[in-house]
Structure 1
């Protein structure tokens, strides 16, 4: 389930497919290893995330909002502002 909070934020279930996410949020994510956004976040972090863990995916800050101990059940996406994106790239240099 995709739930828009405002133009920059939304939540969705971890079981949402990567291709579905492309239609919902204009995010193109591909992985040979996983097919869902919950699996993708788990793969990025390298472990089953705990509630509250965050990861950046493209121009979004993604927060794990619900897990059941075996998988990610819900995620919160917040689009980062241009200023926040610039700060992140400055910090990486």
Structure 2
């Protein structure tokens, strides 16, 4: 009986050690995964580019999206909470 109990205790110890190592290894790798996420840099553009974009928007987009980006009759808003919620994950 003593040898069976000793054998069982040894396997419980080994299994516990293995599970402990697996949990430790899994949690220690998690921060490294998040650290590798690419950093977003803010968009930069010139005044000339912004003016050109505004003119293109007025000619090709404002009819549907509206002059204020969110008051057009035929297309969804291009600003506001719903717009941000849709595009923040992309």
Task: Indicate whether the TM-score tops 0.5.
Answer: no
| TM norm structure 1 | 0.20
Max radius of gyration: which structure? 2
Which is helix-richer, 1 or 2?
Answer: 2
Larger RCO: 1 or 2 (CA < 8 Å, sep 6+): 1
| TM norm structure 2 | 0.20
